[in-house]
Amino acid sequence: MRQLAFNTEWHYALDLSDESDEGKYVCLRTLWTMRQLLAEKKLDRLLFDTVTKKLASVFCVDTSKQRLDSVHITSDMRRLGRIGIFVRVITGFLTNLKRREPKLFATLDTSFGERYLSSKGQSVFSMVKPSESDRTLSQVTEDLFVLVRRFEKAEAVASMKTYSLLSRVFSEQCNVVMEKGRETVWGARRRRSVRSGR
């Protein structure tokens, strides 16, 4: 809408000679209504094909030949936010720890298993409301901190790949500072205390 109202290139392309505000303004509601009608009556595809064929004809474009470098490839890599990354590495570590070192896993608070290894706990993290994201981030950062510190001197655990990944995420995403003789962990991008002590 802004381009139509202020861009002279659009005025030229659409042959808008009227210089008044009314001549260069389209109500948003009108635009939405037209879009809905086009979609409902399946005219959008017809409109697109008609314009494409006309442009190809005018500019003598041979559509039987396609440029390989113009193919758009969409990555299927999943995009994870900070909460998703933290939960993923904690879950992977706890799963591995439970399988390889069940005695050490048993020494952890049962809340870790409830939060990260149960289907109910996982569903909570997958449906975090924006208003609760800070509190959830604080919780998973605290859990990450506890696990990294708890097992950093346990050779059997520190050699595990999942622990290395856990430690790497912690070092990249969190800052630990000393305050009044106690360790406090801070989110790397949010200068806000997440937890103290322990």
Q: 167 near 159, Cβ under 8 Å?
A: no
Q: What is the pLDDT of residues 18-29, one digit of tens each?
A: 878 777 788 888
pTM, to two decimals: 0.53
Sheet holding 190-196, edge to edge: 174-179, 182-187, 190-196
pLDDT of residue 191: 40
The sign one gets for the Cα dihedral 25, 27, 28, 33 is negative
Give the pLDDT band of residue 70 (cuts 50, 70, 90): low
Q: What is the pLDDT of residues 85-130, one digit of tens each?
A: 888 999 999 999 999 999 999 999 999 988 899 877 666 676 667 7
In the beta sheet, which residues pair with residue 183? Answer: 178
pLDDT over 50 at 48, yes or no: yes
Cα-to-chain-centroid distance, residue 69? 28
Q: Give me the residue label for tokens 């809905």.
A: 36
Structure tokens that stand for 127 in this block:
């449906």
Spatial distance between the Cα atoms of 18 and 39, rounded to a whole number of angstroms: 30
More confident residue, 195 or 41: 41
